[in-house]
Amino acid sequence: MNVGIIGLGLMGGSFAKALKRYSIAEKVYGYARSEKSKEEIIELNLVDEIVDIKTLKDNCDLIVLAIPVDNIISMLPEFLDISSNTTIMDLGSTKEFIVNNVPSKIRKNFIAAHPMTGTEKSGPKAAIDDLYEGRTVVLCNLEDNENIHVNRAFKVFQEIGMRIVVMDANEHDIHACYMSHLPHAISYSLANTVMGHEDPKSIIALAAGGFKDMSRIAKSSPEMWTDIFKQNRKNLLKSIDLFEEHMKKVRQMVEEEDYSDLKQWMKKANTLHEIL
């Protein structure tokens, strides 16, 4: 099997590394737009060859779109003439808007995937060996795909060590919102709050594990995350409202010195320990 990866940043670059590690592809082709990215991809030896879109379409059994979610939609018309045997797959963090906007001609070829893994880093240098190892990938609306493509996706994800979960795109977007998009909105808010109040010297001297962990994903790419917030807007607004109810509650309990309820509320949060 030959695989073509469009976009070789954190997700695409790590996918290329996983394919090599497990000897899954005969050849891994890469496509990148900027010269800087191309240079980094070559330097890091992420793919066998950097090619143009046409070569990628002509030579690959599987084409992976590892680019920001808005770009996925705008790029899909380029693939209207692919073979019915070629699988296209995206790795974006939102799924409903994407599956609703795949051109019908290639809908059967298009596998909507979201690997639930990542770091705050981006670009080819962010690619790491074991990003996918032991993590979960969500595949959405597989009833719209032909078996050959579903089987290929299952095979590849299983071979790179992922756990596969299948669900509806709408359901995915709700879960991804609470488990990932809302935490990003909160982390950006916390980072901006602390940097607006504290001087850099104090931040460096006093940051411990708690703040470091809570602010890590505030370093994530604004381009990528603006698109994700845009595509999952309705769920995000609702999740912010639910989170805000808890922020109001903790504020109120502290203000009214209602420490017995505060302790109970913290104990409820503690039960996360039983799950995670």
Residues 24-63 that bind its own copies (CB under 8 A): none
Whichever of 80 and 195 has its CB closer to its own copies, that residue is 195
Query: CB atoms < 10 A from the CB of 249, how many?
Result: 14
Residues 157 to 186 in contact with its own copies, rule: CB under 8 A: 163, 165, 175-176, 178-180, 182-186
Strands across the sheet with 163-167, in order? 49-50, 27-31, 2-6, 62-65, 87-90, 110-115, 136-140, 163-167
The C-alpha atoms of residue 217 and residue 184 are separated, in whole angstroms, by 6
By beta-carbon proximity to its own copies, the closer residue of 143 and 255 is 255
* Nearest residue (CB) to its own copies, 31 versus 132: 132
User: What is the nearest approach in angstroms of its own copies to the Cβ of residue 252?
Assistant: 10
Interaction between residue 219 and its own copies (CB under 8 A): yes
Amino acid at 206: L
- Least gap, CB of 95 to its own copies (angstroms): 13
- Binds its own copies (CB under 8 A): choice among 23, 104, 147, 271: 271
Q: Which of 79, 110, 132, 225 binds its own copies (CB under 8 A)?
A: 225
Region of 49-57, 83-91, 96-104, 135-143 interacting with its own copies (CB under 8 A)? 135-143
CA distances from 31 to 13, 42, 62, 216 (A): 11, 11, 13, 29
* Backbone angle region of 136, left / alpha / beta, with phi > 0 → left and psi within -120 to 50 → alpha: beta
> Under the criterion CB under 8 A, does residue 192 sit at the interface with its own copies?
yes
User: Which listed residue (2, 59, 136, 170) binds its own copies by CB under 8 A?
Assistant: 136
Q: Does 154 bind its own copies (CB under 8 A)?
A: no
Q: Which stretch binds its own copies (CB under 8 A): 4-12, 32-40, 151-159, 198-206?
A: 198-206
- Residue 32 or residue 228: which is nearer to its own copies going by CB? 228
Question: What angle, 0 to 180 degrees and rounded to 10, lies between the N-to-C axes of helices 182-197 and 233-255?
Answer: 50
Nearer to its own copies, 85 or 189 (CB): 189
The size of the chain, in residues, is 276
Looking up tokens 């003439």 gives 81
Q: How many CB atoms lie within 10 A of CB 58?
A: 14
Distance CA 9, CA 110 (A): 21
Q: If residue 193 lies in a helix (H) or strand (E), which one and from where to where?
A: helix 182-197
Q: Minimum distance from CB of 258 to its own copies (Å)?
A: 10
Dist CA 71 CA 85 (whole Å): 23
Of 118, 145, 150, 169, the residue at the interface with its own copies (CB under 8 A) is: 118
- Measure the CA–CA gap between 44 and 265, rounded to whole angstroms: 48
How is residue 20 written in tokens?
A: 């090599």
Q: Which positions from 229 to 268 touch its own copies by CB under 8 A, shown as an x/- string?
A: xx--x--xx-xxxxxxxxx-xxx--xx-x-x--xxxxxxx
Position 142 contacts its own copies (CB under 8 A): no
